Amino acid sequence: MNETLDFARKNRLLNELSDDALLRLLENHSFLTLRQKAVLNEPGDAIECAYFPVTAVVSWLAEMRNGKRSEIMTFGCEGMAGIAAAFDGKQGAITAIVQHEGSAIVVPADHLKAVLAKDPDTAMVLYRYASSLMNIIAQNSACNRLHDLSERCAKWLLLMHDRVQTDELPIDQQLLADMLGARRQSISATTGLLQDAGLIKRRRSRTIITDRAGLEKASCECYPLIASEAVPYGAVGDAQLAVRSEAHAWFHAIHANNDGTGSRDGR
């Protein structure tokens, strides 16, 4: 059981639980390998399970009637899929798809709701997570409207890099186009510019980060703000977290005096 607890605590949300609370949650669970591009939930599907990624990375997507898709947010071991189950949600409203293959702990939705009904401390952990999700989604919404495609592309690559902990990302041009809600031709041009600047290398079905610091400079201010909300505690050093905290304060100081004019969608 100690090995099970140790593995479960690699998910940041589960790591916030006491041993007793975590054991209650794990009374009904399974370990799964989530394959890349596997769809965990689609709009209208019943929410049957909650997924707590350990090494997997999952994205939430919104899809329009014409088939075009755009990312709402992406998360790894700092989050969970199926959060609606914590609020007694019966059906999903978005698509949850696996971006990076890896492991996850899966808990049936009925069991999760039963645990939350009896354990207010566990419920509070998930409520805090839901609050953090609102911050991330709000920031992404503003970013998608106000920042150009190259900045948003750099931001997305950085957030993915934080989660997979390798410089070689399993990301091709079509995936980036879907995530950023842009045309594939625009993504090809944008990643070409990032490659020419020496920040990344494009390979068939792969994107390699070659200059992390340069990519951070090419990103918009949304990266440190979202990273401070979303990055797993153990994924970055204290110095980086301090920088992100300063960036968060800087952003709010700047926008306190901003009249909100001007926009670029970058597509």
Torsion angle, alpha carbons of 247, 253, 254, 256, to 10: 140
Backbone CA torsion sign across 193, 194, 197, 200: negative
230 pLDDT band (50/70/90 cuts)? low
Q: What is the pLDDT of residue 238?
A: 45
What confidence tier does 254 reach under pLDDT thresholds 50, 70, 90? very low
Structural element, H or E, at residue 8: helix 2-8
Domains of the chain (ranges, CATH numbers):
2-119 (2.60.120.10), 142-256 (1.10.10.10)
- The pTM is what? 0.81
How are beta strands 49-53 and 57-63 bridged, if at all? unpaired
Tens digits of residue pLDDT in 110-145: 999 999 999 999 999 999 999 899 999 999 999 999
DSSP letter at 234 equals G
161-195 pLDDT per residue, tens: 998 878 999 888 988 998 998 999 999 999 999 99
Calculate the dihedral angle through the C-alpha atoms of 215, 220, 225, 230, rounding to the nearest 10 degrees.
Answer: -50
Average confidence (pLDDT) over 248-258 = 42
